[in-house]
């Protein structure tokens, strides 16, 4: 099983070539589940013919997913990897790279760090900011808040550890609440005006709080998942700096707007961030799974997060001056795929201009969608467009109607659009990312909601 099977190799490369050279179909999703009997007996003592199993994958398994990189995938947060990033992902897969440590893959770590440093610089964070690529925004948030908690504990020795809190808004991503739960930290849930977390909201919440000293950090979101709202990144950041609070900005989805000509300024406050997460596997056109986790002061982060064991001492021989960068030191992980490399390769080969253009395409389409909705009588906007998210209602519909419509749209292979809730009401939600999503498709989706 360790011999190269050239025939199988050709079949696999043909499959990949075919997939890469055509527009990505939407595919059918869980509406076409694979019958259990088709999977029965596949795992056997003697093994099966690999080409038959590749065929089984192509015919049965591949069409049973909704392709997240299709221009018709407009649910949740889509993913639209560039062709170069996908090709290079295959190179990474075959390269025997362990992206854990400097010792094992120094050059690769340097390339990943080049990409991180570029993102940090575009975000306005100081030179020397850095971290690691992790599996996703959720892991990035967990690592950031772990560091923030430990720094906060040290800064507030008089506050009992179990009382420490982070100030967050109700629109923060669910992974923030989960991270706080894992860390045994509570939230000061700050009331916002129209779902946008501002400095004034925070000041008011702290002024009315019985124990403001227990608040050790603030979490802002640069692009909420449900509505694309960018919090007051500057105001919250300057407040956090003035009061010695850890400032984390979750830009897993919308952090990519640092590349936008129209929205980049709204993220200028990232210069205050102690930690920042932006996912190349969302709006920076890299394949899953890839999130950039960047600390303002990486030394502080690694002193908290680096794993220690006698067999790992060899990775940590230098002093702070001569530190050899181990990506594993910056999050809650050890072995790791060099998952930043496909993003790095794509950025280097396509150039920054191409990224700026592609990011703006989705923002502009969202704006045109709002205009389209305004011109139709059966639908209406629920709120102004947030980045690339459009929330709208089909007048007169209830949750059941939205669900049936969503399923039909997928079954008809038009698009994957799922409903959400806004202030208790079920509404429709379009999340744009893919530069190939067309106005015609959007119009078709809106028209499909007529009776
Ligand atoms: C703002 C925000 N934060 C965090 C996450 C979680 O990211 P991941 O799914 O990569 O763990 C998401 C996912 O959509 C998000 O939109």
Helix boundaries (H) for 22-77? 36-39, 50-56
Q: Residues 236-255: pLDDT tens digits?
A: 999 999 999 999 999 999 99
Q: Which atom of ligand 1 is nearest to the CA of 140?
A: 11
Of 27-36, 391-400, 401-410, least confident by mean pLDDT is 27-36
d(CA 156, CA 243): 12
Q: Are residues 364 and 407 in the same domain?
A: yes
Residue with tokens 């007051």: 232
Residue with tokens 């690691």: 132
Q: Residues 265-312: pLDDT tens digits?
A: 999 999 999 999 999 999 999 999 999 999 999 999 999 999 999 999
In a domain, 61, yes or no: yes
Q: Residues 187-198: pLDDT tens digits?
A: 999 999 999 999
In a domain, 377, yes or no: yes
Whose CA is closest to 216, among 117, 279, 144, 284? 144
* CA 278–ligand 1 middle distance (angstroms): 9
Q: Are residues 216 and 311 in the same domain?
A: yes
In a domain, 1, yes or no: no
In a domain, 82, yes or no: no
Residue 168 in contact with residue 219, Cβ under 8 Å? yes
* CA 252–ligand 1 middle distance (angstroms): 5
Residue ranges making up the domain that contains 404:
353-447
For residue 305, the domain's CATH number is 3.40.640.10
221 in ligand 1 pocket by Cβ < 6 Å? yes
Q: Are residues 104 and 184 in the same domain?
A: yes
Rg for the chain (alpha carbons), in Å?
23
Number of domains in the chain: 3
147 in ligand 1 pocket by Cβ < 6 Å? no
Please report, in angstroms and rounded to a whole number, the separation of the first and last CA atoms in the chain: 57
Q: Residues 63-83: pLDDT tens digits?
A: 888 899 999 999 999 999 999
Q: Are residues 138 and 228 in the same domain?
A: yes
287 in ligand 1 pocket by Cβ < 6 Å? no
Give the mean pLDDT of the chain. 96
Distance of CA 415 to the CA centre of its chain: 21
Confidence label for 30 from pLDDT (cuts 50, 70 and 90): low
Of the residues 323, 352, 381, the one at which a domain ends: 352
Burial of 376 (0-12, 13-18, 19+ CB in 10 A): middle
Q: Are residues 47 and 106 in the same domain?
A: no
Q: Are residues 259 and 192 in the same domain?
A: yes
């Amino acid at each position: 099983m360790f011999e190269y099977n050239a025939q199988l190799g050709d079949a696999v490369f043909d499959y990949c070539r075919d997939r890469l050279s055509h527009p990505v179909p939407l595919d059918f999703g869980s509406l076409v589940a694979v019958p259990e009997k088709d999977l029965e007996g596949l795992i056997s003592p003697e093994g099966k013919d690999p080409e038959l199993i590749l065929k089984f994958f192509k015919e049965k398994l591949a069409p049973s997913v909704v392709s997240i990189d299709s221009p018709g995938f407009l649910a949740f947060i889509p993913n639209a990897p560039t062709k170069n990033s996908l090709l290079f992902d295959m190179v990474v897969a075959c390269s025997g790279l362990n992206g854990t440590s400097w010792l094992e893959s120094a050059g690769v770590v340097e390339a990943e760090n080049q990409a991180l440093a570029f993102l940090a610089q575009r975000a306005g964070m100081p030179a020397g900011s850095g971290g690691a690529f992790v599996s996703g925004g959720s892991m990035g948030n967990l690592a950031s808040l772990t560091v923030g908690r430990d720094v906060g504990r040290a800064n507030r020795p008089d506050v009992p550890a179990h009382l420490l809190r982070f100030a967050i808004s109700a629109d923060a991503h669910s992974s923030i609440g989960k991270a706080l739960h894992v860390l045994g930290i509570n939230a000061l849930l700050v009331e916002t005006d129209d779902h946008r977390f501002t400095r004034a909201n925070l000041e008011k919440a702290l002024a009315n709080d019985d124990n403001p000293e227990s608040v050790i950090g603030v979490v802002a979101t640069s692009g909420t998942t449900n509505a694309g709202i960018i919090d007051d990144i500057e105001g919250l950041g300057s407040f956090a700096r003035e009061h010695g609070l850890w400032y984390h900005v979750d830009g897993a989805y919308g952090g990519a707007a640092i590349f936008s000509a129209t929205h980049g300024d709204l993220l200028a406050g990232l210069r205050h961030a102690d930690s920042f997460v932006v996912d190349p596997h969302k709006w920076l056109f890299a394949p899953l799974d890839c999130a950039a986790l960047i600390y303002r002061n990486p030394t502080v982060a690694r002193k908290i997060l680096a794993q220690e064991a006698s067999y790992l001492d060899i990775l940590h021989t230098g002093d702070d001056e001569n530190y050899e960068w181990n990506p594993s030191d910056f999050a809650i992980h050890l072995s790791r795929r060099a998952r930043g490399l496909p993003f790095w390769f794509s950025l280097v080969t396509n150039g920054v201009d191409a990224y700026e253009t592609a990011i703006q395409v989705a923002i502009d389409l969202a704006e045109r969608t709002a205009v389209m909705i305004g011109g139709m009588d059966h639908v209406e906007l629920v709120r102004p467009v947030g980045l690339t998210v459009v929330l709208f209602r089909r007048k007169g519909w209830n949750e059941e109607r939205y669900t049936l419509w969503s399923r039909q749209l997928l079954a008809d292979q038009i698009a994957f659009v799922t409903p959400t809730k806004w202030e208790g009401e079920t509404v429709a939600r379009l999340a744009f990312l893919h530069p190939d999503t067309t106005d015609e498709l959007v119009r078709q989706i809106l028209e499909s909601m007529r009776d």
